[in-house]
Structure formats: C-alpha cells, structure tokens
C-alpha cells in the first residue's frame, strides 16, 4: 500500500471483457489457502465456494479468525507466498483465473476491476504522502487521468464520503485525520475507479452508527448506479441484514451455512448461525436482558477437532458430532448447512431462534396495539 511510483498504464481492462456463457462475474471454487508455519499448517481457508453476479451483494459473516479476510486477500492476490500457499481450488473473474495471473496482470485488476476497503486504515495509508496524492494514484494509473483531473476527482470523492472542507483536507496527511475519517478515506480510495467488485472488510468498524448508515447507503447508491457487486465482510449479522442478497456464514476457515438473506435470518439451519442470530441486540425490548453469547473460543486452525469444528462449543453436540465430519445438507433452493442434524426438521424447528427482525412485506403493528 505504501508504494506510489506510477508505472505505465496497462490498457487491458477485464471489465471490457464479456462474461463467458455459463460463468458468473466472480466464481470461487473450493478455495484452500494454507499457511506453513513452525507450529504446523494453518488451514486459514479450507474449501470456500460461492458465485457472485453484477448487482449482487454477498455478506460474509463469522467471528475473528474464521477466514473471512484471508479469503478476500487471496482473491486480491495479497497473501505473501510463502508462508501462504494455495493448496487447491480457483478464483475466476469474468471467466479468467486470478490464481494463475502474473503479478503484472493482477496489478491491472487490483483497485480497478476489484477494489478492497481494508479493515485498518492506519496501516493502509502511507504516513508521508498527502491524502490527495494517495487517492490520485489509482486513477492516474488505471484511468489515465492527469494530475489535476485526479486531484479534482479526489476532492469529489472526499465530499462523497462525508469529509467536510475537502479542498483543504485533500492536502493533509493521514495523521491529521481521526480514525473514522481515515476509514472514510479508505472507502473513497476503493470507490475511486468505480470497480466491478467492491470488497468491504469491516468498512464501518471505526464509525459511529449514523455514519455507518450513511456509508452503507452510499455503497448501495453506487451499486444501483454502476451495477457493481459487493462483498461485505463483517462479524455482525445485523450489518448485512438489509443489504445482502445472500449470506455465507464461516467458521474455522470453512463455510458452515450459505443461503439467501431471508433464509439465513428466518430459516437458519446451523447451530452456529443460531448463535450469531441470538447475539444480535434486540432493537426494542420491554425488559433488560443480557445478550446471549456463543460460549467458548474458536478452535486452533492448526489442530482442528476430529468431527464438526463447532462441536466443542455447540450446545446440541453429540458423540456423532465429535467424531465425524458433518455432511452438507442442501435444500431445493441451494440453501446449505454443514451439520449432522440440519435435515432433521423437528430438531431445527425446536431449536432455531425466532428472529426479532420484521420480515419484508410484513405489517408492523404499533407498540401497544394488538396485531
């Protein structure tokens, strides 16, 4: 992120390439990214698969260490290898493998066709260059803009993400911005070239609730205008509740449940997803109640349990769960869950939590009025 040496613009833009018949905008096929360390092999990403089309939003949800960010960094080609190594699978963008691209080819894709809002703006911004110079780099490199054109566009982008006095702030350095302001700069940088796919890694973590809503609304507006796809990475199911078309729930490096947003919220099948749902604070409640946490800690990715990786923390785990890997149960709609008991309708109905969120299309009664 710190190098600002501009190279000759690569005129090849994969966005101009039509998506081959039978393919999607982005296809992640059984991706495996392992890290070879002195302590052993860390299976950070272990069998992730999904597809994404233009205009779609995918929410990727899970606790810290579940493999959410590493999956996206692998897509972007930003994992150091070694110690990282792609042990299997592939990532196709418009039918072309990103895994097999050269570094020069990836440079023409990163920031232009696929852009990422990084989680930590303090380590992603260069402290010795102005905000304007850093915002301008991608536009000069990928779009061929002049220095003045790129600077004018940088001012426009800062205004777009809600930074006041943009003409002056564009001349300032990262240390002169608050944490929330730096996060907004990173969002502006990712949006600069109007990418085909926007990967947002906890994009609203450092922002207050009001600004969170503004940023999410901005991303949705740009998606509606440009038709781009969004991958929203978060540990909070509530963040993706209203914006995601489909949600992938990850645990210990692997997806444990995948489905439409409606299915994940109103028809969840995996006990881990149930735990995430229960941990969402209720918007309105008449009495004070403690939040319901998921007890225990995620397992070591070097030494995963023999059976289901969630079994040590699962309140419903049996000897079968502790000794055998769970099968993948898939419904007719493509909603799937990796749990031994997901196909037991009686078990799911008896234990799945009832969400407090209003289902789209339902009429919300006023408080104090009988429904």
Chain segment 108-145, per-residue pLDDT in tens: 898 889 999 887 777 788 899 999 999 999 899 888 88
Q: Are strands 84-93 and 57-61 parallel, antiparallel or unpaired?
A: unpaired
Sign of the CA dihedral with 278 first, then 60, 360, and 218 last: positive
> For position 369, what pLDDT does the model report?
47
**What would the mean pLDDT of 226-241 be, rounded to a whole number?**
86
Judged by average pLDDT, the poorest of 2-11, 82-91, 157-166, 237-246 is: 2-11
**What would the mean pLDDT of 83-108 be, rounded to a whole number?**
92
Tell which residue, 189, 174, 184, has the closest CA to residue 137: 189
Sign of the CA dihedral with 329 first, then 58, 124, and 174 last: negative
> For position 81, what pLDDT does the model report?
85
pLDDT tens string 185-211? 988 888 888 889 999 988 877 677 777
**Residue 230: in which H helix or E strand, if any?**
strand 229-234
Tell which residue, 308, 311, 350, has the closest CA to residue 329: 308
- Check residue 291 and give left, alpha or beta (phi > 0: left; psi -120 to 50: alpha): beta
Rounded to an integer, what distance in angstroms lies between the CA atom of residue 215 and that of residue 190?
Answer: 13
Q: Which residue has the tokens 């930590």?
A: 120
What DSSP letter does each residue of 115-155 carry, written as one string? EEE-S-HHHHS-TTS-HHHHHHHHHHHHS---HHHHHHHHH
> For position 279, what pLDDT does the model report?
82
What residues have CB less than 8 Å from 243, skipping those under 6 apart? 57, 59, 216, 219, 220, 230, 232
Q: Report in angstroms the alpha-carbon separations of 337 from 42, 58, 326, 345.
A: 23, 17, 9, 13
Judged by average pLDDT, the poorest of 14-28, 130-144, 282-296 is: 282-296
């Amino acid at each position: 992120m710190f190098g600002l040496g501009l190279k000759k613009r690569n005129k090849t833009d994969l966005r101009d390439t039509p998506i081959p018949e039978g393919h999607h905008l982005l296809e992640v096929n059984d991706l495996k990214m392992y890290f070879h360390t002195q302590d052993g092999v860390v299976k950070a990403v272990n069998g992730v698969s999904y597809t994404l089309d233009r205009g779609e939003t995918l929410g990727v949800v899970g606790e810290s260490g579940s493999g959410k960010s590493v999956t996206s960094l692998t897509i972007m080609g930003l994992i150091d290898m070694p110690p990282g190594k792609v042990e299997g699978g592939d990532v196709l963008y418009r039918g072309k493998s990103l895994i097999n691209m050269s570094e020069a080819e990836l440079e023409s894709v990163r920031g232009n066709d696929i852009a990422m809002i990084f989680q930590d703006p303090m380590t992603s911004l260069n402290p010795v260059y102005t905000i304007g110079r850093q915002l301008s780099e991608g536009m000069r490199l990928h779009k061929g803009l002049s220095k003045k054109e790129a600077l004018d566009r940088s001012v426009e982008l800062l205004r777009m993400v809600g930074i006041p006095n943009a003409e002056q702030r564009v001349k300032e350095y990262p240390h002169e911005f608050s944490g929330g302001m730096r996060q907004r700069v990173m969002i502006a940088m990712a949006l600069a070239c109007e990418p085909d796919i926007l990967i947002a890694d906890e994009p609203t973590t450092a922002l207050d609730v009001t600004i969170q809503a503004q940023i999410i609304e901005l991303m949705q507006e740009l998606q509606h205008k440009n038709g781009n796809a969004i991958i929203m990475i978060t540990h909070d199911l509530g963040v993706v509740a209203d914006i995601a078309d489909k949600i992938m729930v990850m645990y210990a490096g692997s997806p444990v449940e995948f489905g439409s947003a409606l299915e994940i919220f109103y028809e969840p099948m995996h006990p881990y997803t149930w735990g995430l749902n229960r941990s969402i604070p209720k918007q309105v409640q008449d009495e004070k109640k403690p939040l319901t946490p998921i007890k225990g800690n995620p397992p070591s990715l070097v030494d995963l349990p023999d059976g289901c990786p969630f079994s040590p923390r699962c309140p419903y785990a049996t000897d079968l769960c502790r000794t055998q890997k769970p099968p993948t149960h898939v419904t007719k709609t493509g909603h799937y869950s990796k749990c031994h008991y997901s196909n037991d309708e009686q078990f799911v109905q008896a234990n799945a939590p009832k969400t407090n969120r209003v289902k789209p299309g339902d009429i919300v009664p006023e408080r104090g009025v009988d429904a």
